Structure formats: C-alpha cells, structure tokens
Structure 1
C-alpha cells in the first residue's frame, strides 16, 4: 500500500521519470538553497533524497529574489546517456510582469557535478524538455502575458497565455518557429506542460486552476507535436476542486510514467489542510507535498485515474508498503551539512555558517526575513505534530543581535524564540513574531517583557500541534514554557496573504542576525526533530 503523500512537507511540482528500474522525482525549492531536490525509489512507495543539483553560483544565485520566487517547477528527464534538468529562476513576484529565466543543466550521474547552465528563454515559467523518438528535442513553457484582462488566449485568466513549443538543439539552442500549441481548458491558469508519446499520439499534461483549491491536472492530445490538440473528455485527469471535504486537496501539477511491466502512474502536488486555532479556515502548514496515483488507459485512448473519479486516494494499492516516517532525528553537526537542512538564497554559505568542532556556527548577517543574506538554517516541517530542540551559545552585546529557534515560512510568517540583549535586562530571551502581516511585515512581541537568563548555553524547544505552537527553554533540568500559545496555522501557504500569495511550506530551524554589521556568531551544538 502506498500512502500519500509520498514526499511529505514542502515538496511541490513533482517531475517524475524512470531510468531502468529506478524512479526519480525532482521538486521545486523556490528561494531555498541549494536549488531543486531530487529523490529516488525502486518501489514507488519509499523515497530517499539523492541530489540537490543547483549548488553553486554559476547555476543559481537568488540573492534579492522575493519570497516565493527562485526555482519554480523543474523538469527532470534522461536521454543520450545523461540526466537533463530544466528550471526557472523567477526574479519578480508582484505586479503585471514575471521575470522568469529558463535554463538547462545536465549530468551523467544524478548525484554528480551538474554542468554550467545553458540559458534558453524568458517568455514564461514551468519549462520542460521533451526528447522525441526521432532524436529531436522540444522546449515547452507557459507564456506569460503582462497586458491584462481580455488580451490573452484563455479568457479565464489572460496572464496565462497558452503553452509554447519550440525545437531546441544542444549546440544551436532554440531553432525554428514558436508555436502556441494549447490555450488550456475553461479552468484557465494553464501551466506546467509535460509531453509524452504513446500509440501515435502526443499527450500533453498541464496544471490548471492555480495552485490553490481549484488546482487540477489537465490533459490534451494531438497526432502532430505542433497540434492541433484536443482536450480530455473530462478535461482533467484529477482535481479536488469540487470536493472540499476530501482529505487530499489542491491536486495538480505532476507527470506520467510507465513501469517496466506496463503499469502507469502519475505524480501530483497536494495539500492536506487543517483548520485554524479557532476551528475555521483551511491551512496547509506542510505546504504543497507530492503524491502519486495509479492510472489506466481506456479504450478511447485517454488516461484516467484507476479509482474511476477525479479524486486522488490517500492509500493506493501497490506491491510495496510505505514505511512509517515518524522517527525522531538527532542531528550531529559534522561536515557536510545534513541534506535535510537548507538555507535561503545565497550561493555563498560560508558567509552565513560553518561546521566545526561538532557544532553549527551561524554568522549573524541581515535581518530575519532578508531577501539577500540571512543566516537561517532549517529543515522542513513534515508532520502536523512535532517537537524540535536546539542548544545555542550566544553572547549578544545589543538588542540588534539575536540568535535562536524559529518556525519560518517567509518574512511575513514566522515565530522566533531568540537570545538577545535588552537594555535593563541584559542577556535575555525574547519572542519575535510576524503572524502573516502582509504587506507590511510588522513585528509583534508576544512576551510581556524579556526573560533574563544567565551566561552559558541555553536549551530552546518548540512544540507544534496542528494549528498551535509553544516555545520552551531551560538552563537546568526543567523545561519552562515561555510566552503564550501561538498561531501555527499562519506558518502556512494560506496564512496572511492567502492561498495564491506564497508557495513554499513551514520550516523549523536555527537563526542568527546581527544588524550592527559586525557578524556576531552563535554556536548551535545540537538540533533534534521528533514527530509525535
């Protein structure tokens, strides 16, 4: 039995391939570094992390990228004895424009050093590369239209102006005419194109409806790669848009794969929402996760979900059994940094942290939420209930220096328990919180006053239980709660700006800042994450 999600926590936009008997999924990382996360499996049920290809400045530099920009919707493929990765680096989020630059990098081994990128175009995002059986390669991406309502090819949303197709050659780049092959269905917001070929047809799958609760996987086909394309009889292969009580929501954006014995599967991104602390609303603190469904081909030559509806299942019958992932993890800080952890935007991690003497030392840089150089090292929240702990040694000299433990989504959505220095209190604990205040990112202080602490390392902890979270600290044996119970649901896609305003997921980790510019250092000797 396969249990969805197969990749819990922030793992969206799954590009799915098979090479021999091994399956690979590549997911978006947005502003988190290194860029793109690739997982592998031999049974479709259990997946392990294997690579983060965009790991140097020549491949990716996101300093200055706004929240939820960066690496959108990679496409992984394999041809000519090597892996091919197509990705977008989005530089602008708000307003009529999207500055989205598309690149290709390759590598013979999935976990090797990937080639310097080849720039392709900037006409839209969610690019993919299709390797046809005649040896030609075709580049696809959605076309972004900045001109406003009534100017695009799909009336549902003018900005998403169809799927572009053009031949691409490794030596010559883009060649031949650009063809807009499909405007999408009436659902609109057509993006994330993937092509495959079967039985004399070219099949096109796309995501539609936006990446919120109207999301869908849509499908079309044509005899000629350039079209014309006809839409699926049901328009969509899967969607939960009309089933708000279904446990899996936001289904869309995935890719098709056949197994060696002829089974057919399709990945999808998904969310499983929880209500807020008042019992109202829908919030996905784990972000957009990856699921998988078995499909069938019917006599009409179209693909359908095996279950017969448009709804993806939480449990899918399979030969393999999904392992229980609720295991506590104790991280020892030995180089290199454990692959569970990522940081934000910069290709120069030595500017913000180092690992030595069994500890992670963060070098305080810009403010919590900076788009340039923020010393924050964190891992995904992958469970609705968990406890995380750390120990920090930090000797701040001013309130402009702080270090501690944070639950973090972006500059508008975080809670942080920090060691700082407060006039009249000296070295003290404080809580910094931005509970979804968009666009101002106003800072709130849930504590009535700072809590003075003696010298030496201090233990910090956070417990999250669905929509609530609590911070704790200790210097001796006993833990003490500090501050009120906080709203954890705001550390989610929907928190603050709403479901279409941010696209990553909740992280928990270690942070330090020094806005005096002196680079005050904080030493973290341990970190643990324990699902409950």
Structure 2
C-alpha cells in the first residue's frame, strides 16, 4: 500500500512526471532556497529527494520577496529528450497585486545542471507546459485581476480570472499566437493550478479551486479541442475533503494526473493534517497521491468511489515501504550542507554560512534580524512529524545584545519561537527566548523567559520538544549537568499555515533549524557542531 502523505511536511502543489519506470514530483518551495524540490520514486511508495534545480543567482534571486512569495506551483514535464520545469517567482502577496513572473528552465537530466531561465509572462501564477502529440507546446497559467477586493489572507474569486492558454515556440523561446481564456472555473471559484493531459482524443484539464484552505479541491473538465469549450466533470471535483471534517487528509487539492507504464491511473494532490482543537496544520501542505479509475463515461474518478482522498492507497506493484529512521543526525563533516536543509531567499549562501571556514562545523555569519526578507542567516530542515525533538550545540561569544544565535521553530517573520544565546548588561552571556505569535498587526516580539539565564563560558547545547501544539525549550552546558527547561510551554500551533491571522494568510510550512543575527552589522560568527532531529 501507499501511505499518505508520501512527502510529509512542507511539500505543496505536486506536479508529477513519469519517464519510463521513473516517477518525479516537483513541489513548491516559496521563499526557501534553492528553489523547487524534486523527489524520485520507481514504485509510487518510496520517495527520495534528488534535486533542487534553481540553485544560482542567474536562475533565482528572492531577496526582498515577502513571506509566502517566491517559487509557486512548479510544473515538471519531459519531452524532446529533456526535462522542462516552469515556475512562478512571486514578488508580492498582500494587497491587490501579485507581480508574478513565469519562467522555463530545462535539463537533459534531473540530477544535472539546469539552464538559465527563459522569461515567459507575468499575467498570473501557477504556470504549466503541455506537450501535445502533434509536437506543439502550450503554456497555461491562471490570470490575475487586481480590480477586486482580493488580497493576501482574504481571496476573492473575481481576482482568479480564468485559465489562459497560449502557444509556446521552443525555437524562438517565446509565446506566440492569440491568448485565450479557456476555463472560468466552477462555482467553487478561485480557479488556479491548471494541468492538461490528453486521452482518447479528449483534452482533460485539472485545476485547483477553493483556495489553499479547507475548501480546496481538484476540479476536472474536458474538451475535444485544446482551446475549449470545456465541459465539467459530472461530480465537478475529482478530489476534495470539503464538507468532510472526518477525513484525515484535509485541504485536498492542486495536483496532477499520471499513468504507470501499464496504464494504471493515479493523481497527486496536496493535503493537510490538522491538529485539534484549532484544526491547525502544523506540517503545512503535504503531498499525497490517489489511485483512480476510468469509467465508461470517459471520466476519471477516485478508485474508492468518492471524492474524499484515502490515507492508504493500493500501490501499482508489490513494493514494500522502506522504514525511515526515527533520528536524523547531521554532523556537518561532509563539506556540503546536508540535503535536508535550506536557507531563505538569497542566492549568495557564502555570505550567511560556511562549512569550510571551520571544518566539521556549520558556521553562520550573523546578518540581518530573524525574519528579514533580504539576508538572514537561518539554515533549517522541514518539520515532518507532529511530535519531534531537535537539538544542537553552539559556540558563540556575543558582546552585545544585538548579537543573537540559537535554535528555532520557524515559519515566517511573524510566526516563530527561538531559544538563543545572547549578551545582557547584568547577566553577561545568557540563554533567552524570542517569540512571535502571529501575523500583523499583532506581530510583536516577546521574551517569554525575560532577560534569560546567565550561562558559563563554553559550548552550549540547545533543544526543543514539540508535542502537537506544545513546545518546550531546554538548554545545558555541554557535558555538565542535565537538560534545564527554560521559559513556559509555548504554542507550537502558531508555527503553521493557520497560525496568526488564519487560513489563507500564509501557506508554507514549519522548519526546525539554527540561526544567527547581528544587528550591529559586525557579522559575528556562530559555530554549530551538529544538529539532531528525532521523531517522538
């Protein structure tokens, strides 16, 4: 059986592509660098991260991008002997405008170097590229209408002004011919995330609708001609958990169709697993996949006979799930950042961290404040479990309260908790907590441990335990004594899509990692010897 989600933690907007016996899924990374995660599988059961292709300044520079902007909804395809990846770099989220720029990059292999991006258009986000069987290529994206009351956190359907279609000329590397609006969406509204495929002379269009929250859905339509008109699926939606609060997989929508080599149909989708009592999805939007069937009416349906996705799904063969370790330990000895880790926005990571300056350590160069949209030294990995423990050891000698380094449970500039080493006028070097409990206008930094606890010289170990909605920080002087709790129990559920101003306010995911900032501008260094992440 396939056990959903197949990509736990922050892995939304899954675009799936099969080449021979190999399956690849590309997911959104938003403001996290490098851009786009690509996982590989040969059985739809076991998946492994193999590439983040947008890895240099000429491909992607997100400095200044607001939270929940950056790389939205990539589409991965294979044609003409190479892989094609289309993506949006969103430069604005709040307010009436989105400023969404769409690009194409290519590579002969997933693992190889990807091309510099070719600019396509900026009329809307969620682009995809369809390779027709006559050799022509078609570019789709939703159209954004700024003349509405739609804004970040409160989307309105008129802003989602249908799905645009235009031909793409691979020779001139430009769009050509008329622009056509081929699909206005269903009555659910907020139509986005278009993907086309062709079967038995029909063009099938799947879109995402209902926003990224609990009304999310995969909507399906079809037409005999690529530019429509498109008729709606008899059930309107192929996949949705809307109106089914009992379902384990909530917020289900935005995915893509794929067939096995023998023709068995599956469809990916994003999903969320909320925690009671506030139904906050602390793991963000994850990737799941459903087995489907084609019926005599020529429409695709879920194999379970409903529109509600299953946690356990029949796999296409007798693959056995590979047991994942409960602990992930990182000692930073390899000279390269472990593949689980990312940083924020900047294509110049050498300015915020190094694994060469002090071999065996992750050295952070403290830059702008935690939550900066430009250059902050924060390196982290995804939270993949509702209950986990993370710990690290730190060498850091601050001489001002403007120098801070430590361990953080992080979502964005308004939703994070951190335990840190800093300096205090009376205490000297100390351990304290920084916390921010929600989006503006109430996004005020608080200090739940007050001025903190004075600590002796030497290396300091920091840890946190997250158990569903609760977070507790700890510290100890390395090799001396036991772990000491610091501060009160904090609300870990704030570090979620629904934290702060709630549904649609943001839509990335929670990370556990290390950080350093120095608002004096002296770039104080902080050295981390190891980092452990344990499922509890």
1:149 Cα deviation from its structure 2 partner = 6.1
Aligned to 1:495: 499
Give the alignment partner of residue 283 of structure 2, picking from 286, 307, 312. Answer: 286
Instruction: Report the alpha carbon displacement of residue 452 of structure 1 after superposing the two structures with TM.
Output: 0.3
CA distance in 2, matches of 1:361, 1:84: 35
1:320: which partner in 2?
A: 319
Residue 256 of structure 2 contacts residue 268 of structure 2 at CA under 8 Å; is this kept in 1?
Answer: yes
Whether the aligned pair in 2 keeps the contact of 1:156 and 1:186 (CA below 8 Å) is no
Is 2:149–2:156's contact at 8 Å kept on the other side of the alignment?
A: no
Match of 2:511 among 491, 507, 521: 507
* Contact preservation (8 Å) 1:287, 1:505: yes
How far apart, CA to CA, are the structure 1 residues paired with 2:213 and 2:322?
28
Q: 1:65, CA displacement in angstroms?
A: 0.2
SS class of match (2:362): strand
TM-score (structure 2 length as normaliser): 0.97
Q: Within the alignment, does 1:414 sit opposite 2:387 as a pair?
A: no
* 1:228-278 alpha-carbon deviations (Å, 9 max, x no partner): 100101000010011012111000000000101111000000000002xxx
Aligned ranges 1:347-386 → 2 under 5 Å:
347-356=347-356, 357-386=359-388
Distance 1:98 1:463 in 2: 37
**Closer/same/farther in 2, CA of residues 131 and 314 from structure 1, 3 Å limit:** same
1:143-171 deviation per Cα after TM superposition (whole angstroms, max 9, x unaligned): 00011169xxxx97100000000000122
**Is 2:260 the counterpart of 1:259?**
yes
Aligned equivalents of 2:488, 2:451: Cα separation in 1:
12
Alignment-derived partner of residue 23 in structure 1:
23
Question: CA separation in 1, counterparts of 2:106 and 2:476?
Answer: 49
- The superposition leaves residues 126-183 of structure 1 with CA deviations (integer Å, 9 ceiling, x where unpaired) of 0000000111000000000011169xxxx97100000000000122210000000000
Distance apart, 1:327 and its partner CA: 2.1
In structure 2, stretches of 5+ residues that fail to align are none
- Match runs of 1:110-149 below 5 Å: 110-148=110-148
**Which residue matches 1:454?**
456
Q: Are the aligned partners of 2:266 and 2:290 in contact in 1 as well (CA < 8 Å)? A: yes
Matched, 1:206 2:210: no
| Counterpart secondary structure, 1:350 | helix
User: How many residues end up aligned between the 2 structures?
Assistant: 524
Q: Tell me the residue number matched to 1:231.
A: 232
Describe the SS at the equivalent of 1:110.
coil
Structure 2 residue matching 1:60: 3-state secondary structure: coil
- Distance of 1:206 and 1:20 partners within structure 2: 26
Measured in 2, the distance between the counterparts of 1:124 and 1:9 equals 27
Q: Is the contact made by 1:431 and 1:445 (CA closer than 8 Å) also made in structure 2?
A: yes
The answer on 1:180 being equivalent to 2:152 is no
**Contact kept? 1:412, 1:439, Cα under 8 Å:** no
CA distance in 1, matches of 2:455, 2:86: 50
For 2:156 and 2:530, the matched residues in 1 are separated by 51
Deviation, 1:317, is 1.9
SS at match of 2:446: coil
Q: CA deviation at 1:335?
A: 1.7
Does the 8 A contact of 1:436 with 1:495 survive in 2? yes
Give the Cα separation in 1 of the matches to 2:325 and 2:298.
41
SS at match of 1:489: helix
Contact 2:57 2:347 in 1 (8 A): yes
Task: Calculate the aligned-residue CA RMSD, in Å.
Answer: 1.2
CA distance in 1, matches of 2:83, 2:41: 16
For 2:425 and 2:156, locate their aligned partners in 1 and report how far apart those are by CA, in whole Å.
56
Distance 1:331-1:456 versus aligned 2 partners, 3 A rule:
same
| Other structure's SS at 1:481 match | strand
Say whether residues 1:329 and 2:328 are aligned partners. Answer: yes
Q: Secondary structure at the match of 1:301?
A: coil
Per-residue CA deviations over 1:31-79 (Å, capped at 9, x if unaligned) read: 0000000000000001000000000011100000000000000000000
Q: CA deviation at 1:450?
A: 1.3
Partner secondary structure for residue 490 of structure 2: strand
8 A contact 2:284–2:508 mirrored in 1:
yes
Aligned to 2:274: 273
Q: Give the one of 435, 438, 441 matched to 2:440.
A: 438
Could you tell me which residue of structure 2 aligns to residue 91 of structure 1? 91
Larger mean Cα displacement after TM superposition, 472-481 or 16-25: 472-481
How far residue 437 of structure 1 moved from its aligned partner, in angstroms, is 4.1
| Contact 1:401 1:514 (8 Å CA) reproduced | yes
Q: Give the conservation status (yes or no) of the 8 Å contact 1:240–1:310.
A: yes
Shift of 1:326: 4.7
Q: TM-score, normalised by structure 1?
A: 0.97
> 2:102 and 2:320 mapped to 1: Cα distance?
37
Partner of 1:377, secondary structure, is strand
